Structure 1
Amino acid sequence: MTTIQGRIESDYIAAYKAKDTVRLAVLRHLKTAAKNREVEILRPLTDDDFLEIIARQIKQRRESLEQYEKHGRTDLAAVESAELAVLQDYMPTALTEAELAQAIDRLVAETGAQGPKDMGKVMQALTLAYKGRYDGKKASEAVRARLSS
């Protein structure tokens, strides 16, 4: 199995040769963010580190997309949407709403969470078990709703 870094490198070269400007730009930004993170933590990056970087980039694109749509900038929203699609190719398969709900129910039982004050325990367990496979905002809302009932 190849690493995420290896896949990014090979896809970068392929995008360069194919003159795929969107994919090339996204991968260039991703490589730069990875290099900066590597310098920051003073060690080579693991696949988990790459997933964190990609997740951060996805979050930025979603926030930008939301703002562009809110202000009627469909041209910029289309660019963000295309870049978001490229980034999502590198993330593991996302949990469905039903799978997320089942995981939350199981983790609430395992951690013994009683109410909203135990939300941190459940979110931490969810992150350990399913890192990069769920939207943090949706998961947070689901955990809060589950613990409030």
Structure 2
Amino acid sequence: MLKETIRADLKEAMKAREKERTSAIRSLLAAIQAEETNGSRHELEDADIVKVIAREIKKRRESAQVYADNGRPELAEAELADVPFLEAYQPQQLSDAELEALLDGVIGTLEAPVGMAQMGAVMKAAQAQAAGQVDGKRLSDAVRARLSS
């Protein structure tokens, strides 16, 4: 299970005295535990943990952008330093060609004429098929570009 892997990696990072990696993994485990106790009240499955990881990565990137916009590049770098450690627990991300093929398949299944009005339907189906293998913003940009052409 993914949670046990993360815990084992935390122990390994602590033994190796890798301060940044230890901090990133601890914050991830805290987010997982918060999700377990707040929302679901049960132990999360791997698919749910992948969603938590994606949300934590998104938070850090958004925070880094806010810091950078406000002239605090050192804080932005600190936020982004955690991202590679968290990305290690995500599934392999889709390449541009794989994303295009996925969108071709999803759009091909639509019964209605393809246009921006179907963006929600395409996004929902594509997210279900991608299952954490593509960032939401990247998927949204690709769908928007595809439907507007």
Pairwise same-fold verdict (TM > 0.5): yes
Residue 132 of structure 2 corresponds to 132
Correspondence list, 1:116-127, <5 A: 116-127=116-127
1:97 aligns with 2:93: no
Query: Which whole-Å CA distance do the structure 2 matches of 1:28 and 1:136 have between them?
Result: 24
5+ unaligned residues in a row in structure 2: which ranges? none
**SS where residue 72 of structure 1 aligns?**
coil
- Taking only aligned residues, the RMSD between alpha carbons, in angstroms, comes to 1.4
Residue 144 of structure 2 corresponds to 144
5+ unaligned residues in a row in structure 1: which ranges? none
Correspondence list, 1:39-78, <5 A: 39=37, 40-78=39-77
TM (norm. structure 1) is: 0.91
Deviations 1:7-39, CA, capped at 9 Å, x for gaps: 101001111111211111111111111111111
Query: Which whole-Å CA distance do the structure 1 matches of 2:121 and 2:68 have between them?
Result: 35
Deviations 1:35-64, CA, capped at 9 Å, x for gaps: 111112122100011001000000011111
Query: Which whole-Å CA distance do the structure 2 matches of 1:28 and 1:74 have between them?
Result: 24
Residue 16 of structure 2 corresponds to 18
**SS where residue 111 of structure 1 aligns?**
coil
Q: How much has 1:126 moved relative to structure 2?
A: 1.1
TM (norm. structure 2) is: 0.91
Deviations 1:88-117, CA, capped at 9 Å, x for gaps: 111111111222122112111023352212
Q: Percent identity?
A: 39
1:27 aligns with 2:19: no
Number of residue-to-residue matches in the alignment: 147
**Structure 1: which 4+ aligned runs deviate by more than 6 Å?**
none
